[in-house]
Structure 1
Amino acid sequence: MSLPQLITGTRTNLWTVLPGLLGGMAVTTCISPFDRFFWGNVVDIWGPQAAILIILLILRAPKPVIGGTALAMALYLALFYLWFFTGGRGDVMAWFVYLFSLPGALIGACLALRLTKLAAPLTALALAGAWVAAGLVINQTIICSTLLYCLG
């Protein structure tokens, strides 16, 4: 596929989805402890992201929206892990912050699905990533300022 075809949207394939999916799986396997609970941890960490992507599949979201959503969630997981577990904040409650902020990703993905219907694939991918990132940041801010204390 040439770049003009990708920009104009004349041909869309799995290459708009694969980076986000593979990125999410790679981040999950890298941050999961390699012990006897490895696969359980992988499912616990990546399962909620997979659930959001399955909801998008049920809603018949275009591939670029799914790809942008998956990419934004993979980046969020990597940044969340770096922020929470390299700054001495790591504890069991940290994963609640992660899980409770994922509804923001779903809301952002649904907004992206609604607002990118006529966009070219690269534009839809970027907009979906931006909407999901915005949903995650807003939800993370609400969680950290009301239910859980995240800065300590």
Structure 2
Amino acid sequence: MKTPTQNLHETKFDSHERPARCSLTVEYLLTIVSVALGLIVAAVLSPKDSSFLPNVLFYWGPHICVLVIFGLYRPPQPAAFAGVAIALAVYLAVFGAWVFSRSNPESMTWLGYIFSFPGALVGALLARVWIFRHQVIQPFSVVIVVAPAVLFGIAANQAIVCTTVMYCKGMR
């Protein structure tokens, strides 16, 4: 049996244990805040009337779908979810600001928003492969890799949609 003095001397922190526990907490907090950011942006963009909840679900629902599909097979570390959620929230904010800054916002414009989510998912999955191959494990590094990859996927998808399915040139 060890004495309290021996226990005190043996409580040196293993360099692998303490930071991992601390960063895991920060990582989960970052993920929760990032997902909530998308919900907040959706709530701000939604009209404050009887159609508030359906509009919030319309704006935020695709975020949840991308996050669920992204995590179906071997869920990645929480920071990867945070990177996806941050990119999707930024995209929703920019797209919403663009739509509502127009003199006559058209409801069909939101189809471009919906059609861009396959690109977001492809960007997220490519970032996941890159992170796995390069063994990126630091939470903020993961976010910095995933968020731009998702935004690039959205931009590439928008370019494809605007040159094939939708007419986007008159949307200035």
Q: TM-score, normalised by structure 2?
A: 0.78
Q: 78, 82, 104: which is aligned to 1:63?
A: 78
Amino acid in structure 2 at the alignment position of 1:130: P
Q: What's 1:124 paired with?
A: 142
SS in structure 2 of the partner of residue 17 of structure 1: helix
Q: What's 2:38 paired with?
A: 24
Structure 1 unmatched runs, 5+? none
Q: What's 1:76 paired with?
A: 91
* In structure 2, distance between residues paired with 1:32 and 1:24: 12
Does 2:164 match 1:146?
yes
Instruction: String of CA shifts for 1:102-128, please: whole Å, max 9, x gaps.
Output: 110000111111111321211111100
Amino acid in structure 2 at the alignment position of 1:26: I
SS in structure 2 of the partner of residue 148 of structure 1: coil
Larger radius of gyration: 2
Q: What's 1:102 paired with?
A: 117
- Runs of 4+ in structure 1 displaced over 2 angstroms? 9-13
Q: What's 2:54 paired with?
A: 40
How large is the Cα RMSD of the aligned pairs?
A: 1.7
Amino acid in structure 1 at the alignment position of 2:143: L
Q: Please say if residues 20 and 72 of structure 1, whose CA atoms lie closer than 8 Å, have aligned partners that are also in contact.
A: no
* In structure 2, distance between residues paired with 1:88 and 1:146: 26
Displacement of 1:98 after TM fit? 0.2
Q: Please say if residues 19 and 71 of structure 1, whose CA atoms lie closer than 8 Å, have aligned partners that are also in contact.
A: no
Q: How many residues align?
A: 145
Does 2:67 match 1:50?
no
Does 2:24 match 1:12?
yes
Amino acid in structure 2 at the alignment position of 1:136: I
Displacement of 1:25 after TM fit? 0.5
* In structure 2, distance between residues paired with 1:20 and 1:99: 20
Structure 2 unmatched runs, 5+? 1-14
Amino acid in structure 2 at the alignment position of 1:95: W
Amino acid in structure 2 at the alignment position of 1:149: Y
Amino acid in structure 1 at the alignment position of 2:145: L
Displacement of 1:58 after TM fit? 1.8
